[in-house]
């Protein structure tokens, strides 16, 4: 029972220690120097592997993503008959909800305005809006989006969700499809993107989308940089139609030092840290799926390659 680890995060030792606690007999090998005989490799735990690499392991039984997203795998020329398994880790979900809640509260309570006033030694209490009158929109109601929506609802925010296909969520109005997207944007003062990146969602946050948001709306993108058309966002901010944007993900990472987002007064940049994978908790769902495969059961959740997530 042998697993290949491929990542540029340089945390193989933490992963191997956590996996060994779950599966003491697991043989863990790191790419590229520790691979050994490629015929030994049965499982691959990877982030952004070299194109075509995973086709070189003839006995591969499953490909595990090191993060919640799988778009990095969709471009890698993978073996057709090997399941791709998404990482669903409660700690990863909690971390993302923390990020979303923080920024929703930040803009809801206008802490950015207070920070600017404080720098000028200006004492100015601002009108306070009750949460049920603050309309928050969550794009994407998978495991992470659903968790964030429920926690915002528990704080009494007026939360709605949008998905490509119809989905019900108790207590949360949901919109779907192109027509629903327009209505969703029109009612959302704080728009949070937690969508998977697919051909259909590439560039979904564009000039048209920003125009449909209420004047003074805020955008928080913690999904993938490909969802945002950068120039359109800057134009919407410069025009005053959008108040602010918080961006954790970008088309190119690390974000180049010359990119205008760094110095834009209405943009907050965070370095793809909204929720980081923690090996000590994420090893369990990986190990559980290896146990399932060894029992002849399918792993879960498996990526639908046609949908891209």
Catalytic residues: 224, 272
For the beta sheet containing 62-65, the strands, ordered from the edge strand earlier in sequence to the opposite edge, are: 27-30, 2-6, 43-46, 62-65, 84-85
**Helix, coil or strand: residue 119:** helix
- Let me know if 241 is exposed, middle or buried by CB neighbors in 10 A (0-12, 13-18, 19+): middle
Beta bridge partners of 176: 163
Q: Are 220 and 195 in contact (CB under 8 A)?
A: no
Q: How far is CA 155 from CA 74, 133, 150, 226, 258, in A?
A: 37, 12, 9, 30, 39
- Strands 217-221 and 242-247 turn out to be parallel
The rounded distance, in Å, linking the Cα atoms of 216 and 214 is: 6
The rounded distance, in Å, linking the Cα atoms of 98 and 80 is: 36
Q: Supply the angle between the helices 111-119 and 90-108 in degrees, to the nearest 10.
A: 60
Q: Are 2 and 42 in contact (CB under 8 A)?
A: yes
Place of tokens 């603050």: 134
Peptide bond into 177 cis (omega under 30): no
């Amino acid at each position: 029972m042998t697993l290949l680890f491929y990542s540029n995060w340089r945390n193989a030792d933490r992963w191997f220690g956590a996996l060994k606690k779950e599966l003491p007999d697991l043989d863990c090998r790191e790419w590229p120097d520790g691979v050994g005989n490629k015929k030994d490799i049965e499982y691959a735990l990877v982030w952004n592997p070299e194109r075509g690499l995973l086709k070189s392991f003839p006995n591969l039984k499953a490909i595990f993503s090191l993060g919640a997203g799988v778009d990095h795998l969709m471009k890698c020329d993978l073996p057709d008959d090997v399941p791709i398994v998404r990482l669903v880790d409660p700690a990863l979900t909690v971390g993302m909800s923390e990020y979303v809640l923080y920024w929703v509260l930040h803009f809801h309570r206008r802490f950015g305005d207070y920070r600017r006033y404080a720098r000028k030694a200006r004492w100015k209490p601002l009108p306070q809006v009750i949460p049920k009158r603050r309309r928050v929109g969550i794009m994407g109601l998978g495991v992470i989006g659903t968790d964030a929506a429920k926690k915002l609802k528990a704080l009494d925010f007026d939360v709605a969700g949008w998905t490509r296909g119809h989905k019900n969520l108790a207590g949360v109005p949901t919109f779907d499809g192109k027509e629903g997207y327009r209505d969703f944007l029109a009612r959302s003062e704080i728009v949070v993107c937690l969508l998977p990146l697919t051909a259909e969602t590439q560039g979904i946050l564009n000039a048209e989308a920003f125009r449909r948001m209420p004047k003074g709306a805020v955008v928080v993108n913690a999904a993938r940089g490909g969802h945002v058309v950068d120039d359109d966002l800057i134009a919407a901010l410069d025009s005053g139609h959008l108040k602010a944007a918080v961006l954790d993900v970008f088309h190119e990472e690390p974000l180049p030092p010359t990119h205008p987002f760094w110095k834009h007064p209405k943009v907050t940049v965070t370095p793809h840290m909204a929720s980081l994978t923690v090996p000590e908790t994420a090893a369990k769902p990986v190990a559980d799926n290896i146990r399932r495969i060894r029992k002849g059961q399918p792993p879960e959740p498996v990526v639908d390659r046609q949908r891209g997530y």
